[in-house]
Amino acid sequence: MNGKVPVYDTLTQSRWYDRLSVKLMAWVLLTSLSVGLFLSFIQVSVEAVTAQKHLDSDIRQYLSTVRHSASQAIYSIDPALGDQVLEGLMSSEMIVRARILHPNGNVLSQTNRALQESPLRVLTDRLFEPTRLYTLGLYMNTPAPTHYGNLEVTIDTFPAAQRFLNRSIITFIAGLTMAMILAIVLYAAHHVILTSPIKQIIESLLRIDPAEPGLQSVSLPPQHEHDELGTLVKATNELLNAIEGHQHRRAEAEARVLRLSQYDVLTGLPNRIQFRSYLQGAIDEAQINDQQLAVICIGIDDFGSINDQHGYNVGDRLLQKFAERLNESRDTLHTSCRLVGDMLALIQFNVISTLRVAAFAESLLQDITRPFVIDDITLRISASMGIVMYPDDGAEPEKLLQQAEQTMNLAKSDGSNRFHFYVASLDAEIRERKQLEKDLLSALDQKQLQVAYQPKVDMVSGQVIGLEALIRWIHPERGFVPPDLFIPIAESNDSIVEIGYWVIRQVCQDSQALEAMGHKDLSIAINLSACQLHRTDFVSQSLSILEEEQARTEQIAFEITETAFMSDLNQAISTLQALASEGMECAVDDFGTGFSSLSYLKQLPVAALKIDKQFIRDLLDDQDDQQIVHAIIQLGRSLKLDVIAEGVESLEQARHLVQDKCRIGQGYYFSRPVFMDKLPEALDEAGQRARDILGKEG
Ligand code: C2E
Ligand code: CA
Ligand code: CA
């Protein structure tokens, strides 16, 4: 509507002399007046000439009536008769002087009168001369016609001129009146036919809302359907409709773009950006009303394996149904969105207590466990949730969302199908973990990683038979970072793969160096993570590193935990077979801590079992540990596998193990893990300690 008022003003308040009809009238008036004037002038001029001609013939006719008497008077030289004749002539008011003259110019009779006086004479004397002179010859037949004198008459032209003038004025006035009438008629016609309908059209146009130009059409003034105005109105209406259509399409396109930018295409839920602004609004309102809010981040547990197992299509459909179910259970107290992937978020408004939030989360978890049916597949899923509270945990939407997300991840890693409330100390832990993760990415390049070696000894022969390679991270600020802290991080972002290859290369080089020092036949065991084991190119990559470093396969062995095998047993078996066929032995690490089962152990091409150090720690005092250790040793013997005890810290533990027929030991008692520079002494020391067990001399 803006801009309409000034236009309307200029249209309705236009000055009268700017109006079309007035302009037309002025034109008509001017032209008809000038044409009328011109024509009247010609008419008057022509009439002036004819009027003079008429005057002449009238006078001559008048004079001829007295010719005979005047001739008689001059012939008989009778002045009295002459006077009488002239007196008769003077009865015409036009005649101002009359004379009867002898041929020699002597006057017989004469009479005079003054010219008529009138202010109009100024004009009439210009049109006609003031007087006109007529001379009539006087003859007598005596017997032949003889000239006896002249009759001379002077007339005043004024009376005739005045009559002429009166007629001319009437002619002029008639002409003017005609012009005026024509102008007025044209003005009126123009007003009725053009100005007034145009005004109606303009008013109708001004009523049109520019925002919706097609809503109202310009009205057609009656009786103008078929003329140019009708065409104008129709064309205008078509144009307005076209504009409306165009605007409509444009608005639709804009709305589509807006939807795409604010809503998730798959679930139709608001996206993260939109949700953040909802959350900001909710926080603002909660702040005013002094209320609490809960932000709940929900992730489907193990969504990746649903995708792997049933395909992305089913995964997408599940997400849709999942979103629908969340919305079903949502009342006016909630609003939800899709953050990313399988992660949804929810705001719970006006929370009275965290207990209520917990109850709500619990009910959501329950709700989610109801099976989802997609086509003919029935899926049972669970979800994990992270919950943050406004204002307790923060007031910044993005921060709250991040915290909720982290808390959810924590709930997932805690075993899933549960909810966690955000705890500030955990947040700090997560942040530290994130920082470590970042630092770890550059640790390799910046040569912050090193490999330490811990000897394995044959407790019966008193010989060092091998080493275990244990990675060390010397952080530039934090110093020593324990592998138990950073290995899981490296596993979570797969950087363990690159690190693992680096360890293999390092071990090859160190093994060569050891051989050069005379320590032959010491195979070095390298710890492997599940994700390394499950890489299809692991064996070939490892072999090419060995080749590059000119190491033999017997110099290398691997230690793999039970849980690493279990996640994909078939893959593990084929990798281990490939390693074994190349001459690289594998040991089951941390044996006894997982789901140790005979059936899988029989299938695995492994050469040794490593008893986890947790069973060795209290071996001398704890009956249970003694029994477990005994059982593992027996199992190893029956399967013809070496059994290695790790975490041996004392001579007594070592003796107990030897008595129980465990030959190989590893632990602080023999040697701590040491770097290459200290390794030769450590090897000697470990050998000595091993021989001490059975009291052998060095
Ligand atoms: P693990 O394979 O069970 O390694 C044995 C752990 O026990 C080592 O801890 C070692 O230093 C420690 N240890 C050795 N003797 C004793 C002892 O007498 N008493 C006690 N209390 N501990 C002893 P570390 O070096 O901190 O390594 C921890 C874990 O990190 C290893 O457990 C292994 O799972 C992982 N790890 C170490 N290096 C690598 C590597 O290069 N690659 C992979 N994937 N994992 C590694
Ligand atoms: Ca190990
Ligand atoms: Ca262990």
Confirm or reject: Cβ of 653 under 6 Å from ligand 1. Answer: no
| 558 CA to centre of ligand 3 in angstroms | 13
Q: Tell me what pLDDT residue 3 has.
A: 40
Q: What is the pLDDT of residues 549-597, one digit of tens each?
A: 999 999 999 999 988 887 778 888 999 999 999 999 999 999 988 766 6
Q: What's the rounded Cα separation, in Å, for the pair 490 and 443?
A: 11
Q: What's the rounded Cα separation, in Å, for the pair 462 and 448?
A: 35
- Return the bridge partners of 450, or none: 472
Whether pLDDT at 461 is above 90? yes
3-state DSSP assignment of residue 292? strand
Q: Tell me what pLDDT residue 349 has.
A: 87
Dump strand ranges (E) for 476-618: 479-481, 523-528, 556-561, 585-591, 608-611
Q: Tell me what pLDDT residue 5 has.
A: 43
Confirm or reject: Cβ of 504 under 6 Å from ligand 1. Answer: no
Q: For residue 271, what pLDDT band results from cuts at 50, 70 and 90?
A: confident
Q: For residue 547, what pLDDT band results from cuts at 50, 70 and 90?
A: very high
Residue ID of nearest Cα to ligand 1 atom 32: 484
Residue ID of nearest Cα to ligand 1 atom 8: 470
Residue ID of nearest Cα to ligand 1 atom 35: 483
Whether pLDDT at 284 is above 50? yes
Residue ID of nearest Cα to ligand 1 atom 45: 527
The kind and range of the H/E element at 459 are none
Q: What is the pLDDT of residues 529-541, one digit of tens each?
A: 998 998 999 999 9
Residue ID of nearest Cα to ligand 1 atom 42: 527
Q: Which of 646, 648, 689 is the best mutation target for the ligand 1 pocket, counting ligand atoms within 8 Å of the beta carbon and taking the most?
A: 646
Q: Which is more confident, 157 or 458?
A: 458
- Return the bridge partners of 455, or none: 467
Whether pLDDT at 479 is above 90? yes
| 589 CA to centre of ligand 2 in angstroms | 6
End-to-end CA distance of the chain: 106
Average pLDDT of the chain to the nearest whole number: 88
Q: Tell me what pLDDT residue 75 has.
A: 92
Question: CB of 98 within 8 A of CB of 133?
Answer: no
Q: Show the CA angle centred on residue 339, arms to residues 338 and 344, nearest 5°.
A: 55
Looking at all shown ligands, the one closest to residue 528's CA atom is: 1
Looking at all shown ligands, the one closest to residue 611's CA atom is: 3
| 632 CA to centre of ligand 3 in angstroms | 14
- For residue 524, how many other CB atoms are within 10 A of its CB? 24
Q: For residue 13, what pLDDT band results from cuts at 50, 70 and 90?
A: low
Closest CA to 561 of 588, 542, 539: 588
> Which segment of 126-130, 296-300, 453-457, 522-526 scores lowest on mean pLDDT?
126-130
Q: Which of 440, 457, 470 is the best mutation target for the ligand 1 pocket, counting ligand atoms within 8 Å of the beta carbon and taking the most?
A: 470
| 612 CA to centre of ligand 2 in angstroms | 9
Residue ID of nearest Cα to ligand 1 atom 27: 483
Q: Which is more confident, 634 or 271?
A: 634
Query: Can you read off the two tokens belonging to residue 231?
Result: 């065409």
- For residue 656, how many other CB atoms are within 10 A of its CB? 18
Q: What's the rounded Cα separation, in Å, for the pair 561 and 564?
A: 5
Query: Can you read off the two tokens belonging to residue 617?
Result: 């720690």
Task: Bin 358: left if φ > 0, else alpha if -120 < ψ < 50, else beta.
Answer: alpha
The amino acid that residue 651 corresponds to is L
Looking at all shown ligands, the one closest to residue 667's CA atom is: 1
Q: What's the rounded Cα separation, in Å, for the pair 30 and 652?
A: 137
| 464 CA to centre of ligand 2 in angstroms | 17
Ligand 1 atom with the shortest distance to the CA of 483: 30
Kindly list the distances between the CA atom of residue 140 and the CA atoms of 74, 88, 147, 441, in Å, as whole numbers in the listed order. Answer: 10, 21, 7, 158
> Which segment of 315-329, 420-434, 456-470 scores lowest on mean pLDDT?
420-434
| 303 CA to centre of ligand 2 in angstroms | 32
What average pLDDT does range 324-334 have in this prediction?
68
Residue ID of nearest Cα to ligand 1 atom 41: 471
Question: CB of 367 within 8 A of CB of 329?
Answer: yes
Q: What's the rounded Cα separation, in Å, for the pair 33 and 305?
A: 101
- Return the bridge partners of 473, or none: 449, 481
Q: What's the rounded Cα separation, in Å, for the pair 238 and 226?
A: 16
Phi then psi for residue 387, to 5 deg, are -120, 130
Q: What's the rounded Cα separation, in Å, for the pair 406 and 412?
A: 10
Q: What's the rounded Cα separation, in Å, for the pair 167 and 44?
A: 9
Residue ID of nearest Cα to ligand 1 atom 33: 527
Please state the length of the chain. Answer: 698
Q: For residue 2, what pLDDT band results from cuts at 50, 70 and 90?
A: very low
* Helix%, strand%, coil% for the chain, nearest 5: 55, 20, 25
Kindly list the distances between the CA atom of residue 238 and the CA atoms of 16, 355, 555, 643, in Å, as whole numbers in the listed order. Answer: 32, 64, 89, 94
Looking at all shown ligands, the one closest to residue 617's CA atom is: 1
Q: What residue ranges define each of the domains in the chain, with the CATH number in brackets? A: 20-174 (3.30.450), 257-423 (3.30.70.270), 454-470+491-693 (3.20.20.450)
- Return the bridge partners of 334, or none: 348
| 470 CA to centre of ligand 1 in angstroms | 6
Confirm or reject: Cβ of 668 under 6 Å from ligand 1. Answer: yes
Tokens 């000897």 found at: 455
| 613 CA to centre of ligand 1 in angstroms | 10
Closest CA to 530 of 561, 502, 558, 507: 561
Tokens 């992730």 found at: 299
CB under 8 A, 24+ apart: contacts of 623-632 = 626/656, 628/592, 629/657, 629/660, 629/662, 630/660, 632/591, 632/592
Q: For residue 334, what pLDDT band results from cuts at 50, 70 and 90?
A: low
Looking at all shown ligands, the one closest to residue 608's CA atom is: 2
Antiparallel, parallel or unpaired: β 585-591 and 556-561: parallel
Q: What is the pLDDT of residues 178-228, one digit of tens each?
A: 878 888 888 888 888 888 888 888 888 888 888 888 888 888 888 888 888
| 600 CA to centre of ligand 1 in angstroms | 24
Q: For residue 354, what pLDDT band results from cuts at 50, 70 and 90?
A: confident
What average pLDDT does range 238-249 have in this prediction?
90
The kind and range of the H/E element at 669 are none
Whether pLDDT at 427 is above 80? no
Confirm or reject: Cβ of 528 under 6 Å from ligand 1. Answer: yes
Q: What is the pLDDT of residues 656-682, one digit of tens each?
A: 999 999 999 999 999 999 999 999 999
Q: Which positions ≥6 away from 358 have C-beta within 8 Å?
A: 387, 419, 421
Q: What is the pLDDT of residues 95-133, one digit of tens each?
A: 999 999 999 989 999 999 998 888 988 888 887 888 999
Confirm or reject: Cβ of 471 under 6 Å from ligand 1. Answer: yes
Whether pLDDT at 1 is above 50? no
Confirm or reject: Cβ of 222 under 6 Å from ligand 1. Answer: no
Q: Tell me what pLDDT residue 14 has.
A: 66
| 611 CA to centre of ligand 1 in angstroms | 13
Confirm or reject: Cβ of 527 under 6 Å from ligand 1. Answer: yes
The amino acid that residue 130 corresponds to is P
Going 498 to 500 to 505 to 509, the CA torsion angle's sign is positive
Q: What's the rounded Cα separation, in Å, for the pair 75 and 83?
A: 14
Query: Can you read off the two tokens belonging to residue 650?
Result: 């004392």
